[in-house]
Amino acid sequence: MLRKNNAARLQETVRSVETMTRFALAVLALASGVYTYLGVRGLLDGTATFVFFAAIIYSAAVSVAIYAFWTFMLRFVPLVTSAAGRVGLFLTMAVGCFMIMAMSSWLNAAALAGSAALEQHLAVNLEEYVSSLDQAHGNALAAQSLLPDVQRAADRFAKLADDERNSGALTGTTGSGSVVQLLTQMSGQMSELGATITNSRDQVQALFDQGSAHLGKMRELVSGTGEIGPRSDEFAAESVQLNAVITSLQSTDVAPSVKRAAADLAAGFIAPVANGGTSDLVARQDTVMGTVRDSVAAQSAQLAAAADEILKQPRVETHRYVPLSSAEAVLRYWSDFIPSWAGAISIDLLPVVLVLVLMIVHDAMRRETAGLEDAETITAAEMLRSLELYRQLTGKPLADAEEAVPAAAVAEAPAAEPPPVSAPPVPGTADATVTPLDTARKPSRP
């Protein structure tokens, strides 16, 4: 009896929540349609009217499909008991869930996290531009490390020229001769090379300041407020100007010029003719100029090697900013928006929980009623129909059919049978006790 009551309570509870289940399913389908509309609107091109109606039709189709699919699942899955049937329905439900995610969930995620994903895209590109500008600036400044060596060589040649002119430190004879002329020439070439490197420093700094200004504007666009579309357009314009600055920075690199100048020092060395008054002085001048030639060759090799090290650094590849739609941004940076994806998918697939709950409840009701006898579950209407059917099949009167009622059914409701009613005596007959069944069966007399 307790099992019968449990099954009845479960069945009554299922009936009571049926309206709430339909309402919840309709609300979920409507919410999914709304967010699908917001997501698909950013993917369509055309006039405002076309985009509006196209998005409305698509979102309405999604809502109807979701409601119809989960209504079928809620109706049929709890009723199917065979293993093969349930496996087939579960496979069908899995395919339906995949199709719902394909046509709705990713658009819901685009509506929930589209703006944040586009800002993430701008931030990632901003980091790329910062890295490119820093690398180009570093490559341009690398040639500045050659300036101390060039200036030191120029000062050394100038000092040797002064010493030779004033004290004859190299040839032993004072005055401005061929050696002084050669040393002054080498000092002048080194000074010109140093001036070239120094002038490039100012140009590099000016370009770097210009690029930093563009980066500052781009940072404001990334962290600013307002619609993301106009900010993305301004970001693209700033990126074009920044790329031009980075290209200019790479063109101001003086390392190639230093390498060529260093090669010219050795290859283009032109020694003046010794102009000493005596053969001994001429010999000493030739000896000193040969030493200067060797020193210039060594300095040239050193500068060329340093310039080669700078030139071995990889050139900066120009980064190109590619605008994305909100849906594309959500798909590209999905790992950064897992909570939004979870919410978008849950809106579409939450009815899975309802299907499983109903399936478990129906299984419990079947288990509760599996061991009950028919006599314990038969209703009064079913019993009356059974008696009438028995009478029609056997042709026996209803009194005989009453005797065929199972004893269990009679014992189930003994209190429902009213006590015998004493009818008034009929003239010419003996007193008799008439039961309600007899009264109902006895035809009335006129």
Pairwise pLDDT comparison (155 vs 375), residue with the higher score: 155
pLDDT tens per residue across span 172-198: 667 667 777 777 877 787 888 888 888
pLDDT at 175: 66
Q: Is residue 50 exposed (0-12), middle (13-18) or buried (19+ Cβ within 10 Å)?
A: exposed
- Rounded to whole angstroms, the Cα distance separating 321 from 8 reads 66
How many C-beta neighbours within 10 Å does residue 184 have? Answer: 18
pLDDT at 23: 93
Residue 421: pLDDT band (50, 70, 90) is very low
- Does residue 151 have a pLDDT over 90? no
Q: Which of 56-70, 79-93, 94-108, 368-382 has the lowest mean pLDDT?
A: 368-382
Pairwise pLDDT comparison (372 vs 422), residue with the higher score: 372
pLDDT at 274: 56
- Does residue 324 have a pLDDT over 80? yes
pLDDT at 411: 45
User: In whole angstroms, what separates CA 104 from the centre of its chain?
Assistant: 16
- Does residue 276 have a pLDDT over 70? no
Domain borders along the chain are 2-114+336-370, 117-325, 374-441
- Does residue 16 have a pLDDT over 80? yes
Average pLDDT over all residues of the chain = 78
Long-range contacts, stretch 427-435, CB < 8 angstroms, 24+ apart: none
State mean pLDDT over 55-69: 94
Top mean-pLDDT range of 58-67, 260-269, 279-288: 58-67
**CA quadruple 330, 333, 334, 336: dihedral positive or negative?**
negative
Backbone angles phi, psi at 50, to 5 degrees: -60, -45
State mean pLDDT over 367-379: 63
pLDDT at 93: 94
- Does residue 373 have a pLDDT over 60? no
Q: Which of 129-143, 371-385, 411-425 has the lowest mean pLDDT?
A: 411-425
105: nearest Cα among 344, 306, 290: 344
Pairwise pLDDT comparison (441 vs 101), residue with the higher score: 101
pLDDT at 348: 92
What percentage of the chain reaches a pLDDT higher than 90?
24
pLDDT at 267: 60
| C-alpha torsion angle, residues 227, 233, 239, 244 (rounded to 10) | -150
Residue 278: pLDDT band (50, 70, 90) is low
State mean pLDDT over 200-207: 85
pLDDT at 420: 46
- Does residue 410 have a pLDDT over 50? no
- Does residue 434 have a pLDDT over 60? no
State mean pLDDT over 28-53: 88
State mean pLDDT over 56-76: 93
- Does residue 432 have a pLDDT over 50? no
pLDDT at 204: 86
- Does residue 100 have a pLDDT over 90? yes
- Does residue 96 have a pLDDT over 90? yes
- Does residue 371 have a pLDDT over 60? no
State mean pLDDT over 196-213: 86
Between helix 83-100 and helix 338-349 the angle, nearest 10°, is 130
**CA quadruple 400, 401, 402, 408: dihedral positive or negative?**
positive
Residue 444 identity: S
Pairwise pLDDT comparison (431 vs 333), residue with the higher score: 333
3-class SS letters over the chain:
CHHHHHHHHHHHHHHHCHHHHHHHHHHHHHHHHHHHHHHHHCCCCCCHHHHHHHHHHHHHHHHHHHHHHHHHHHHHHHHCCCHHHHHHHHHHHHHHHHHHHHHHHHHHHHHHHHHHHHHHHHHHHHHHHHHHHHHHHHHHHHHHHHHHHHHHHHHHHHHHHHHHHHHCCCCCCCCCCHHHHHHHHHHHHHHHHHHHHHHHHHHHHHHHHHHHHHHHHHHHHHHCCCCHHHHHHHHHHHHHHHHHHHHHHHHCCCHHHHHHHHHHHHHCCCCCCCCCCCHHHHHHHHHHHHHHHHHHHHHHHHHHHHHHHHHCCCCCCCCCCCCCCHHHHHHHCHHHHHHHHHHHHHHHHCHHHHHHHHHHHHHHHHHHHHCCCHHHHCCHHHHHHHHHHHHHHHCCCHHHHHHCCCHHHHHHCCCCCCCCEECCCCCCCCCCEECHHHHHHCCCCC
The verdict on pTM exceeding 0.95 is no
What percentage of the chain reaches a pLDDT higher than 70?
79
